[in-house]
Amino acid sequence: MNLRQCEVFRAVMELGTVTAAAERLHVTQPAVSKMLAQLERELGFAAFVRNRRRLLPTPEAEALYREVRRAFLSLDYLTRVACDLRHLRQGNLVVAATHIMGSHYLPEVLAPFLERHPGLRVSLQSLDSPGTAQAVLTGRADLGISQFEVPAPGLRSEVLCTPDTVCVLPPGHRLVGEACVAAEALAGERFIALAAVNPLRAAVDSMLEAAGAVPRTVVDTPLASTACRLVMQGTGIS
C-alpha cells in the first residue's frame, strides 16, 4: 500500500464518490477506479460496496481509514515541521564556537537573530578551533565560529570580521598611551602567553623572535580572557 493509494483511499472515504475523489486529486475518474481496484487486490478484501453512484465503505475499510487518517495527520505534521525548519521558524540550532567568540562576538549577534526567529532554540558548545571544525564535520554542530580558519575537506568557511591584535597592559605601565607597541619594546617583560594549543601563540612567538625580543613568560593559558584577568592583577603583560 503506497502513499498514492492511501491518498485515493482517503479521498473516496471522505467524499463517497470516484468523481469527487478524482477532482480533489486532479486525476481522471478511470485513474481513481484503477488504483482502487489495485488496492483491493493487494488488501485481499473489498473496501467499498457500490450503491448506485456512491461507494459505501466496508467494516474493514472503516478500520483501515482510522489508521490511514492517523498516518496522514503525522505526515502533515512532519511537513509543517520541515517548512518551519526551512524558514527558521522553529527547531534547535547547535553552534560550536571558540571561547572568545562565544563570550564576546556571539552575544551581540544572537539577540537580534533570536528576535527575528523567536521559535528557534540555540545550543552553544565551547570548543577550541580544531574542535569547532570537527563538531561541524561530524554533524554535532550546525555551524561553527572560530577566530582561526581550520581548512578541512567538506567545510566551507566565511570571514565574518577581522579583529585587531592588541597588547594588553596593566594600568600605569610604561607603554600605556602608545598608539602602536613595537615588538622590540616587549623584550624582558613579564609575559602572559597563550598556550601552545592556541593558534595565535605561534604567530606571536614568530613575531617576537623576528624582532629579537624575548619576554619572560611567567604564565601560559589557553584562554585570552584569563590572560587579561592576570594582566589586571599585575602579573605581567600579554
Give the residue with greater pLDDT, 35 vs 72.
Answer: 35
> What sign does the dihedral 121-128-188-211 (CA atoms) show?
negative
Check for a shared fold between 91-145 and 164-238: yes
Write out the CATH class of domain 91-145: alpha beta
Query: How far apart are alpha carbons 8 and 154 in whole angstroms?
Result: 43
User: 3-86 architecture in CATH?
Assistant: Orthogonal Bundle (1.10)
Please state the pTM of the whole predicted model: 0.51
164-238: CATH topology is: D-Maltodextrin-Binding Protein; domain 2 (3.40.190)
- pLDDT for 19-62, tens place per residue? 888 888 888 888 888 888 888 888 888 888 888 778 888 888 88
> Which of 69, 44, 68, 53 lies closest to 18, judged by CA?
53
Other beta carbons within 10 Å of 35: 20
Domain boundaries, the chain: 3-86, 91-145, 164-238
